[in-house]
A = this chain, B = another copy of it.
Amino acid sequence: MAKNEFICDCNVIHQDVVDSTTKSMPDADTFNKLAEFFKILGDTTRVKILFALDQNEMCVCDIANVLEMSKSSISHQLGTLRRSGIVKCRKSGKEVFYMLDDNHVKEVFEIGVEHIEHKK
């Protein structure tokens, strides 16, 4: 009678691997934040916005024109990106300029592109 029977619907097959892996797993909070970070990058619109902002700080209307999408849609996505700490903004009169907050985004981005090129 396996000790895990109330946790999973199957038996442990390689107890040593399961034990050592289990011991090395980070806490749930780390995994949640990690997944959340990637989830933010996992949308075509947001990826395009980030690519654009990687080159220039831009206002909402300009981004909307580059992506050929509505201001509202872009503004919603920028809100999501700002709340995730991936972009920040600066106000200037009626306009709001957005820019990347964190250079990790750039790194992750470039490796992602490499990955895709490599897979072709």
Contact = CB atoms under 8 A, between A and B. Distances in A.
Contacts of A95: 13
Nearest to A6: B68
A1 interface: no
Given A31-B44, A31-B47, A37-B115, 11 more contacts: A8-B65, A11-B61, A14-B58, A14-B59, A14-B62, A17-B58, A21-B58, A30-B113, A30-B116, A38-B112, A40-B42
| Nearest 3 pairs of A and B residues by beta carbon | A39-B42, A38-B41, A38-B42
14 contacts: A8-B61, A10-B71, A12-B61, A13-B59, A14-B59, A14-B62, A17-B58, A20-B55, A35-B46, A38-B38, A38-B39, A85-B119, A105-B115, A107-B111
Interface of A: 4, 7-14, 17-18, 20-22, 24-26, 28, 30-44, 46-48, 51-52, 55-56, 58-62, 64-66, 68-72, 85, 95, 102, 104-105, 107-109, 111-116, 118-119
